[in-house]
Amino acid sequence: MSSVIASARFSVLDRSRTREGHTGPEALRDTVALAREAERLGYHRFWVSEHHGVPGVAGSAPTVLAAAVAGATRTIRVGTGGVMLPNHRPLVVAEQFGVLESLFPGRVDMGLGRSVGFTDGVRRALGRDKDDADDFAAQLDELLGWFLGASPTGVRARPSEGLTVPPFVLAMGEGASVAAAAGLPLVIGDLRDRDRMRRGIDRYRARFRPSRWASEPYVVVSGTVAVAATPERARRLLIPEAWSMAYSRTHGTFPPLPPAERVESLAMTAKERGFYEAGLAGQLAGTEEEVADGLESLLKDTGAQEVLVTTSTHDREALLDSYRRLAAIAGL
């Protein structure tokens, strides 16, 4: 095994993707089951995500789901990838993570993003608009302040004050500079745009200011990794997500994951086909040897300390097999 791969941490982000023929509650239970398997395999963290009003994603309340995951596991770190801070008041987020850390001490991560709702309707339902993302740096500063006892109003965040919950910033572009200025670890993707990702990492490292949260830059690269016995089987793992993304780009809604064989039989428009092929390109997918080579190249290219894997597909057994094969590659 490559020493570069052996020195990196490997973690899992599951978005509780719904599958055709299955319900949202089933998707949430699948997430908890996957967390138990990730723990058994030796992955470092297991994170869940925040999406609102999306037919293809059941995970709308990440701190609630993180509590269920933490309660079903014993050792793996649990967190969010991430809580979208513009959607919430920082005090409430601090309180939620304070409760999590109090119940599961030493195991909770606070991954934070700056995205707002997927559509205008979702943003209206949340009482937010696109410009709210511009306040992310101030919101982040206020959130961290609640843990430190900084309160301009005299209110105290309980039970959060005095607790240490490691914060991470999920970002590309401008968000990388926010992470650097705050002295926080950076989670960055996606793997299909390696040049943009590398520019973000370079900007982050150049501007990083040590803080009480991190003394030096810490980079987590995030994206899809699919491992199977043959390149063809690995590619089939990518097909449902690639089609759902293509459909969302052309129809404005993100659907449940279809079986790969149904996607392969579709008569796509030229526009759909273009987005679909783009979704299949540039991912880390293949046999164990091929993925190991790709991971070594990625880690050398970025200098990242950790890989956060976000793979989604319709075939749950094939997905579990992919994570087992990846764990073997990483020597977990």
Decide if pLDDT at 168 tops 80. Answer: yes
Per-residue pLDDT tens for 178-213? 999 999 999 998 788 888 999 999 999 999 999 999
pLDDT at 159: 93
Confidence of residue 131 (pLDDT cuts 50, 70, 90): low
Above pLDDT 70, what percent of the chain? 94
Q: Which residues pair with 170 in a beta bridge?
A: 187
| pTM for this entry | 0.95
pLDDT exceeds 70 at position 297: yes
pLDDT at 133 over 70: no
What is the rounded distance in angstroms from the CA atom of residue 23 to the CA atom of residue 215? 44
Mean pLDDT of 124-138: 72
Strands (E), the chain: 9-14, 45-48, 77-80, 83-84, 108-113, 167-170, 186-188, 219-223, 225-227, 284-286, 306-309
Instruction: Give mean pLDDT, residues 236-257.
Output: 94
In eight-state DSSP terms, residue 269 is: -
DSSP 8-state assignment for residue 2:
-
Where does residue 309 rank: exposed (0-12), middle (13-18), buried (19+ CB within 10 A)?
buried
**Residues 57 and 88: beta-carbon distance below 8 Å:** no
Separation of alpha carbons 2 and 324, rounded Å:
18
Q: What domains appear along the chain, each with residue ranges and CATH number?
A: 3-229+285-330 (3.20.20.30)
Give the pLDDT confidence of 105-122 residue by residue, as tens digits: 999 999 999 877 666 667
Average pLDDT over residues 221-228: 97
Rounded CA separation 209/181 (Å): 6
